[in-house]
């Protein structure tokens, strides 16, 4: 194929009427000519005869006029396409039986002599203190608010402190607990939310300069559900602008383990704040690694649920067919507790599937079949030593490790659906040139990615999604053949991250050691669709046998 030239790109730009702002001028774009159509076809890797191109010109011009008419109808980011992604393969059956949620026996906690140790208590430990009234929610909330104020200047993990709201919610929780109206383990527990989740009365900035003063007159479903559970919202936390990386309009969010480094993204503030003991838990999101990556870097434990598990109502849309919302916590069981409060249909998000969450800790892994990606673990990569020790530990716990491989698909190429859907979600920003306000402007940042996505033909976008259908079915058959509900993967290895984000499978990422820099490494446990309960239970058994999650960064060095 010929190398793309400027003339070819201009031809394609005219053809698609996507010449990045030219259609915003008062002057009408020139009519599409035979030469333009020929150059555009070359850009798309197509070959048509002169007669075929000539016959298409009137229709091409009609299409472009239609684009202009469609663009005059306002579309906000929350309007989803009338095409919904379905992660269910043919033959897959959802367990219809809902069982009571179970968790480990909670030992009675006591207040530490050094109050700073409270910063790293788990949710059940804090809940024990609150229910026994050794501490009030108001006192606990003030404790975390002070830590947020003290360490945010170093970490840059907070967009907005919701202090007034937090204190009001904490006092309400105290009154209810005192009156015997206990809502559960999250009652009175402070938390933070990634700043793509809307909360009435507060800014929802999406981490991006064009939206830094944006307020949305709604509460995201996840925030509503946490309020119903009695949790206390203390902060809207940073995210890489429009859910990429750890750079937002206020700077770069830092890794508490190495403050000269970023915390990765895009749930940058959520992982940084939890890792630093500024909050007991936070809500993050993932489209292609945005829970896994910052959890890895910051040493937190994160749950990326199955696609269709948690409502995205009130959340910024980057990719309607790939966005997922999940908790970032100190431990696996903390993730289970938070997930139990936020999952399920809400009447707003039409992609949600009503499936039970039957979490219960495992007494043992003895005799349990757990898959592992053999080629990935045997390859030469940075975290191989720690990951190999994870496999050894699983064997010690009695698990039967089953070698397996993922279906072979061009998954990195298929993830272009994110840029295409993102370009649609932020169409107005691109066409108005507001994308110039974003801090990151390199060739791999969103401004250029969204512009480039305008040149992806609708046919190729649909072909990638058709290939996802094949991938989903093959993943189902792979796990069925291996006879496993859970498998383990290097967090970044073997194409697992891209594959399972495309298929919508759930994962738990948790620390499994430290690298030569002294910063955390991680391992990922994967589960069958809607089997968060099983993957969490297996991950908990491994975590209970290690102590990596109990180690914390030194914030004062």
396: its two tokens: 């010690």
Distance CA 73, CA 541 (A): 53
197 three-class SS: strand
Distance CA 309, CA 505 (A): 11
Which DSSP string do the residues of 60-100 spell out, in sequence order?
HHHHHHHHHHHHTS---TT---S-----PPTT---------
Active site residue 452: no
- Catalytic member of 267, 270, 290, 331: 290
Contact 406, 478 (CB under 8 A): yes
Q: Is 468 helix (H, G, I), strand (E, B) or coil?
A: helix
DSSP state of 207: T
Q: Is 547 helix (H, G, I), strand (E, B) or coil?
A: coil
Q: Residue 329 pairs with which residues in a beta bridge?
A: 301
Active site residue 540: no
User: Which of these is catalytic: 17, 266, 491, 521?
Assistant: 266
Cβ contacts of 437 within 8 Å, gap of 6 or more: 208, 209, 210
Catalytic residue among 17, 19, 194, 419: 194
> What is the distance, to the nearest Å, from the Cα of residue 485 to the centroid of all Cα atoms in its chain?
22
* Distance (Å, whole) CA 159 – CA 149: 11
Q: Do the bridges between strand 400-404 and strand 369-373 make them parallel or antiparallel, or are there none, so unpaired?
A: parallel
Phi, psi dihedral angles at 284 (to 5 degrees): -125, 180
Is residue 113 part of the annotated active site? The answer reads no
What token pair was written down for 181?
A: 């109206």
Per-position DSSP letters for 300-348, written without gaps between them = -EEEEPPTTSB--TTB--S-TTT-EEEEEESSHHHHHHHHHHHBS--SS
Residues classed as catalytic:
194, 266, 290
């Amino acid at each position: 194929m010929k190398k793309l030239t400027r003339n070819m790109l201009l031809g394609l730009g005219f053809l698609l009427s996507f010449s990045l702002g030219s259609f915003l001028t008062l002057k009408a774009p020139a009519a599409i000519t035979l030469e333009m159509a020929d150059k555009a076809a070359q850009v798309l890797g197509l070959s048509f005869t002169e007669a075929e191109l000539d016959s298409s010109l009137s229709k091409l011009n009609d299409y472009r006029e239609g684009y202009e008419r469609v663009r005059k109808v306002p579309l906000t980011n929350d309007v989803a396409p009338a095409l919904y992604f379905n992660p269910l393969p043919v033959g897959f059956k959802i367990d219809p039986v809902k069982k009571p949620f179970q968790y480990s026996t909670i030992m009675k906690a006591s207040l530490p002599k050094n109050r700073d140790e409270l910063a790293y208590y788990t949710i059940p430990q804090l809940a024990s203190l609150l229910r026994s009234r050794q501490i009030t929610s108001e006192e606990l909330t003030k404790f975390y608010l002070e830590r947020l104020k003290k360490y945010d200047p170093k970490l840059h993990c907070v967009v907005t402190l919701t202090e007034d709201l937090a204190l009001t919610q904490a006092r309400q929780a105290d009154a209810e607990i005192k009156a015997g109206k206990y809502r559960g383990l999250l009652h009175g527990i402070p938390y933070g939310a990634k700043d793509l989740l809307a909360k009435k009365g507060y800014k929802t900035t999406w981490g991006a300069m064009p939206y830094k003063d944006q307020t949305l007159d709604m509460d995201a479903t996840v925030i509503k559900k946490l309020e119903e559970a009695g949790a206390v919202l203390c902060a809207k936390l940073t995210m890489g602008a429009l859910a990429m990386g750890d750079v937002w309009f206020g700077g770069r969010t830092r890794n508490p383990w190495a403050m000269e480094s970023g915390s990765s993204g895009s749930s940058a503030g959520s992982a940084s704040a939890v890792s630093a003991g500024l909050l007991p838990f936070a809500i993050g999101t993932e489209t292609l690694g945005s829970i896994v990556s910052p959890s890895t870097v910051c040493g937190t434990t994160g749950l990326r649920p199955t696609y269709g598990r948690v409502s995205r109502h009130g959340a910024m849309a980057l990719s309607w067919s790939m966005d997922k919302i999940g908790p970032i916590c100190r431990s696996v069981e903390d993730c289970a507790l938070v997930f139990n409060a936020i999952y399920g249909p809400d009447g707003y998000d039409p992609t949600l599937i009503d499936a039970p969450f039957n979490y219960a800790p495992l007494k043992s892994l003895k005799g349990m079949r757990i898959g592992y990606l053999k080629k990935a673990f045997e390859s030469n990569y940075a975290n191989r030593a720690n990951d190999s020790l994870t496999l050894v530990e699983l064997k010690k716990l009695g698990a039967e490790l089953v070698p397996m491989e993922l279906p072979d698909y061009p998954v990195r190429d298929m993830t272009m659906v994110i840029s295409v859907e993102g370009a649609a979600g932020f169409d107005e920003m691109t066409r108005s040139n507001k994308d110039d306000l974003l801090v990151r402007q390199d060739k791999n940042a969103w401004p250029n990615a969204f512009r480039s996505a305008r040149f992806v033909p609708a046919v190729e976008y649909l072909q990638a999604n058709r290939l996802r259908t094949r991938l989903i079915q093959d993943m189902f058959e792979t796990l069925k053949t291996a006879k496993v509900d859970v498998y383990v993967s290097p967090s970044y290895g073997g194409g697992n991250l891209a594959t399972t984000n495309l298929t919508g499978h759930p994962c738990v990422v948790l620390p499994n050691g430290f690298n030569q820099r002294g910063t955390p490494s991680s391992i990922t446990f994967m589960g069958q669709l809607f089997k968060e309960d099983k993957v969490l239970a297996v991950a908990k058994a491994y975590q209970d046998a290690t102590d990596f999650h109990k180690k914390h960064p030194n914030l004062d060095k």
